[in-house]
Structure 1
């Protein structure tokens, strides 16, 4: 059962990460995301890196490719999100979004890195 629970966690993280990339591409648009990053004081190119990390990382997690490494590679993206939301309070429904969701997501990525890919990975060699 542990392998299937690990797989469910991996797939959930993958879908959530991919959906955030697609949100930035299709809803906020890439130029809009770049502008938002710049309005926060981040260099605009970080928006492109974030979108690429979420898109590639989400797909890799869904497929079960390099799960441990991908999970760890996504942690800095979530720490960036955490830094943006840190001053908004605990609850993510607060104005500007609170910090508990990115904090939880960061911790879950670390758990996934510890657990590995679980079952139903593209290749056990790359899990």
Structure 2
């Protein structure tokens, strides 16, 4: 049952990140780059974040490179919290989203960075110890 729960969590987490990464490109990555510049982050980092979210999300869904992408996505969410969301608070204020979702996603990604994927993953199939 733990493998099933871990797999469901991994797929939902991966889907969430993949959609967010895709959305950054779909709506025009320049908007994200402009936002990054406005909060003091170099605009080119928008491309890096979007690629990590898109590629990392797909990899997490597949259970491929789960620990690596879990770590990268954790760092991405911690960065989002401290650069863009912390000042607004946990729940948010004045119509701005807080960091509650970012914290939950960071915790889920950290779980996979530490635990790896379940046996229902490409990591398990490709790198199983024999």
- Shared fold, TM over 0.5: yes
Q: Which moved more, 1:39-48 or 1:105-114?
A: 105-114
- Partners of 2:32 and 2:127 in 1: how far apart? 32
- Partners of 1:117 and 1:123 in 2: how far apart? 7
1:16 is aligned to 16
| Superimposed CA distance per residue, residues 62-88 of structure 1 (whole angstroms, 9 cap, x where no aligned partner) | 111011121012111101111111011
- Partners of 1:92 and 1:33 in 2: how far apart? 20
1:30 is aligned to 29
Say if 2:46 is the partner of 1:47: yes
The number of residue pairs the alignment matches comes to: 126
Contact 1:21 1:54 in 2 (8 A): yes
RMSD over equivalenced CA pairs, Å? 1.7
| Displacement after TM superposition at 1:6 (Å) | 0.6
| Displacement after TM superposition at 1:46 (Å) | 0.5
Give the direction of change, closer, same or farther, for the CA distance of 1:35–1:65 in structure 2 (3 Å limit).
same
Contact 2:66 2:123 in 1 (8 A): no
Q: Which moved more, 1:113-122 or 1:54-63?
A: 113-122
TM-score w.r.t. the length of structure 2 is 0.88
Contact 2:13 2:60 in 1 (8 A): yes
TM-score w.r.t. the length of structure 1 is 0.89
